[in-house]
Structure 1
Amino acid sequence: MLDSIKGPHDLKALSHEEVEQLSDEIRHFLITKVSKTGGHLGPNLGVVELTIAIHRTFDSPKDVILFDTGHQSYVHKILTGRADKFDLLRQRDGIAGYPNRSESVHDVIENSHASTALSWGDGISRGFSLTGQNDRHVVVVVGDGALTGGMSWEALNNIAAANDRNLIIVVNDNERSYSPTIGGVATYLSTLRVTRGYERFLDWGKEVLSKTPVVGNPIYETLHGVKKGIKDIVAPQGMFEDLGLKYVGPIDGHDVAAMERALNQAKEFGEPVLLHVITEKGKGH
């Protein structure tokens, strides 16, 4: 299946069964190649389905796809016709470990580490809007670690202030960058708040249920799990919508069909939209 993919256009006609097969083949390909050349394996294993869904939904290079941490662009490179160059990944006369404009028209910026791509997305999408290119979209894939950088928040503030352009922000939330992400934003995304009233209710429930024979503790654990689910689902939406951004999610980043539905929904808004996508770094390995 992978050998038949020469560019993003080859993805459009694939069935979902074929997409699953392609995802497996890409992971095997990455493990085989990167184990020999070195490189960033874990981040790319985690964005296989996400990247496929983006390329199936949008039309690169007409639509611009930006990766905030450029080392998570290996799958993008494979899908844009560079799989045959991976034997020389990050080597002389080979392909770069990051997006590189000299390699492909699908690489629009050259960036390595985090927190820069949202500013690029702001500028490019604003340029499309000002020049009447309203049929073009910009997709920015940004990690949860990158959202700890002030440059990202400056860009989000600017994006929210001018909402008449086609910009989709995909927050790839895998709960870690190089190390577990720390700080206020990370805390917001992972431990997320509910009301004190709910906390008091839970404490009261624990006290009452602990006195209930046999079923008390299992019921309490269920309630505690529900609390965590409420935190993980409700709070991020409030944070980003307070900035003036439409929010869609959380979405399973390993479910191509779910990703495509969300991306198509975002395309229809005609204004900046944030997709909160949950992935597993190093998926399956």
Structure 2
Amino acid sequence: MSENILNTIQSPKDLRKIPKETLPQVANELRDFIINIVATKEGHLGASLGVIELTIALHYVFNTPKDILVWDVGHQAYGHKILTGRKEIFHTNRQLGGISGFPKRAESEYDTFGVGHSSTAISAALGMAIASKLKGETNIQHIAVVGDASIASGMAFEALNHAGISDTNILVILNDNAIGIDPSVGALKNYFTKVKLNGAKDADNIFEALNFDYSGPIDGHDLELVISELERLKNVQGPKLLHLITKKGKGLRQAEENQVVYHAPGKFDALTGDLAPKSNERQPPKFQDVFGKTLVELAITNDRIIGITPAMPTGSSLKFMMDVFPERAFDVGIAEQHAVTFAAGIATQGFTVFCNIYSTFLQRAYDQLIHDVCLQKIPVIFCLDRAGIVGEDGPTHHGIFDLAYLNCIPNLIIFAPRNEIELRNIMFTAQQGLDLPIFIRYPRGRGNILDWQKPFSKIEIGKSEVLKEGIDIVILTLGTIANNAKEAIETLSSEQQEKIGLVDIRFLKPLDETLLHKILKKYDKVITVEDGTIIGGLGTSIAAFAVSNGYKNKIEIIGIPDVFPEHGTVSELQEIVGLSPKRILQVIQNYL
């Protein structure tokens, strides 16, 4: 037996040459490899550890990449990447210029479909299977690997409904570990629990009702059994579903016992599994915690407040309210469309609804925003976490489109707090009652104010704030990116600083037209800065306002260009797209 078999595997072809009885050693080595890399480089951990045996079995049994394997989300695909030729560069995972943390078509022929959001795998694999059928390719297998939290999403069910009558040999593998990022919720989770306890034959089988040949549940960590079942299913005609029971974090005790934390634990000790010690130094809060703690504070005095999140109670910090007011806080699972319309329904009955959805995930509920909320002027309070550039999760997760995709919808308010206190105050203002839905967007990570829990004060809707007066150049910002502009200005000499004004627009919609008239009359040169797309955002709105009112000012727009920014640290990516203090300074100097 080779001392380290994993080192001999450059592709699945090498894996298939290994005797079946030595594959458990490959599983152990693959787990250790992932643990050691993620311990120092950071990334997602638990999901990939839970599917090590499945990953090996899939590439062992099927002739990938000819046989098409589609992963749902990408958190569980680290082992897949390592076995498909990326072991030597895996240490670059999620780093600028390195490999993506998710499957990515441009990266490898084994990454058949790009996935960062959930519940897309069955639709994609079914499309590929039907395409193969149309081309007369009868010897290609199509496999979708889906988590139990993802299969409860509406899109997954739409795909299952179609696949059941598709006359294809698609294989759906249900990775049932009772958790997405937070524990899975809903009736389907209860159904899976019943199946596990009583066996599939003693439960009404939802998948057989959808015309799938169902098998399982089986132990997803019994490598020999998984291989045997996949070999059998290769020759079964029609749509099939294999139900595997796995444990997220398998192979690292702490990751098994604390699955929420070890989904993406940051740095940890690879030998002991212990998290890196936290600094005792007092730090500003994360924006998500400002939201979560403020919501509880408001809910104590306002019993009409309701909180909603689609599967992100920990990530959004709605967990704080769920712990204090469990009957007034709802995790609806990976179901953004449902979350939005559900929120609208509650709001029609006189409740004040805070619906917290990551900016990138709200894209999935766009029709519901228009049809179910804005068209009817239902005043839901949407809190958009992870707005702007999010960093290492990359293009599938950057929250850079919300300003543009919301800006064109009538009957709404768009606000971006500059800091933690502004976030508190707009939440306080919104719960006192608005006539329109409001969208409050804030970034991932920490603010910069230690003493942020100040007494509440009301914010006037549509009112900007002048941060600094100037003479002939003004910078208009929206949200926390004001800090970068402020830093750029402070780099200049005091004489140069006097020439530059700084205004926090605060509301993209409605614009503070009264102040804008004053600004455009006073300043010859206007620079707008936003951590959203240049097309359709703040700069576009300011330019359109100037043109429609006959102003001739020179206007320069700084924001995300017409590209999908890659993955890297926030500061690295801001430098690339032109939003760093250094790059903003360069633009200012052009006008000085």
Shared topology, TM-score over 0.5?
yes
1:170 counterpart = 2:173: yes
- Residues 108-134 of structure 1, C-alpha deviation per residue, up to 9 Å, x if partnerless? 111112111111011111111111111
Structure 2 counterpart of 1:114, from 106, 113, 118: 118
Specify the alignment match of 1:251 in structure 2: 218
1:225-240 matches, cutoff 5 A:
229-230=197-198, 232-234=199-201, 238-240=205-207
Distance of 1:5 and 1:259 partners within structure 2: 20
User: 1:187 aligns to what?
Assistant: 190
1:22 paired to 2:10: no
Partner in structure 1 of residue 61 of structure 2: 57
CA distance in 1, matches of 2:151, 2:187: 10
Secondary structure of 1:127 counterpart:
helix
SS of corresponding position for 1:72 = coil
SS at match of 1:277: strand
Written as runs of structure 1 = structure 2, the 5 A alignment for 1:8-47 is 8-47=12-51
Query: Structure 2 CA distance, aligned partners of 1:284 and 1:236?
Result: 31
Give yes or no for contact 1:101–1:109 (8 Å, CA) kept in 2: yes
Q: Is contact 2:194–2:203 with CA below 8 Å preserved after alignment?
A: no
Higher normalized strand content (fraction of residues): 2
Counterpart Cα distance in 1 of 2:60 and 2:78: 16
Task: Find the residue that maps to 2:27 and give its secondary structure.
Answer: helix
- Distance in 1 between the 2:236 and 2:20 partners? 25
In structure 2, relative to structure 1, the CA distance for the partners of 1:102 and 1:236 (3 Å cut) is: farther
State the shift of 1:5 in Å. Answer: 0.2
Name the structure 2 match of 1:223.
Answer: none
1:161 is displaced (CA, Å) by 1.2
What is the Cα deviation at residue 175 of structure 1? Answer: 1.0
Letter in 2 for 1:46: G
Q: Structure 1 residues 265, 146: closer, same or farther in 2, change over 3 A?
A: same
Cα gap change, 1:131/1:257 in structure 2, threshold over 3 Å: closer, same or farther? same
Asked whether the 8 Å contact 2:200–2:217 carries over to 1, the reply is yes
RCO (CA 8 Å, sep 6+): is it higher in 1 or 2? 1
After superposition, the Cα gap between the structure-2 partners of 1:103 and 1:154, relative to the gap in structure 1 and judged at 3 Å, is same
Distance 1:178 1:235, change over 3 A: farther
**2:558 paired residue number:** none
Q: Distance in 1 between matches of 2:93 and 2:161?
A: 36
Shift of 1:229: 3.1
- Aligned partner of 2:231 in structure 1 is 264
CA change 1:57–1:152 in 2 (3 A) is same
Write the distance in 1 (CA, Å) between the matches of 2:203 and 2:62: 25
Residue 179 of structure 1, CA deviation: 1.0
Residues 162 and 236 of structure 1: CA distance in aligned 2, closer, same or farther (over 3 Å): farther
From the superposition, tell whether residues 42 and 184 of structure 1 become closer, same or farther in structure 2 (CA, over 3 Å): same
Shift of 1:235: 5.3
Q: CA deviation at 1:241?
A: 0.5
The aligned residue for residue 284 of structure 1 is 251
Counterpart-to-counterpart distance in 1, 2:46 and 2:108: 24
**Counterpart amino acid of residue 148 in structure 2:** D
Match of 2:403 in 1: none
Alignment pair present for 1:103 and 2:107: yes
Q: Which runs of 4+ in 1 moved over 3 A?
A: 232-237
Aligned-residue offset at 1:16: 3.1
Q: Name the structure 1 match of 2:149.
A: 145
Unmatched segments (≥5 aa) in structure 2: 253-592
Unaligned runs of 5+ in 1: 193-227
CA 65–270 in structure 1, closer or farther in 2 if over 3 Å, else same: same
CA distance in 2, matches of 1:146, 1:109: 16
Q: What whole-Å deviation, never above 9, does each CA across 1:20-76 have from its counterpart, x for those lacking one? A: 111111111001101112111000011001000000110111001010121211110
1:248-275 deviation per Cα after TM superposition (whole angstroms, max 9, x unaligned): 1111111111111111111111211100
**Contact kept in structure 1, 2:31 and 2:251, CA below 8 Å:** no
Contact 2:207–2:214 under 8 Å retained in 1: yes
Q: Which has the higher helix share?
A: 1
Distance in 2, matches of 1:250 and 1:6, equals 32
Supply the distance in 1 between the matched residues of 2:73 and 2:245 (Cα, whole angstroms).
17
Distance 1:104 1:236, change over 3 A: farther
Distance 1:284 1:3 in 2: 20
CA contact (8 A) 2:211 2:239 kept: no
Q: Flag the 1:107–1:62 CA change in 2: closer, same or farther, 3 A.
A: same
Is 2:80 the partner of 1:80? no
Cα deviations by residue, 1:76-99 (Å, 9 ceiling, x for unpaired): 001101011111110011100000
CA RMSD of aligned residues (A): 1.4
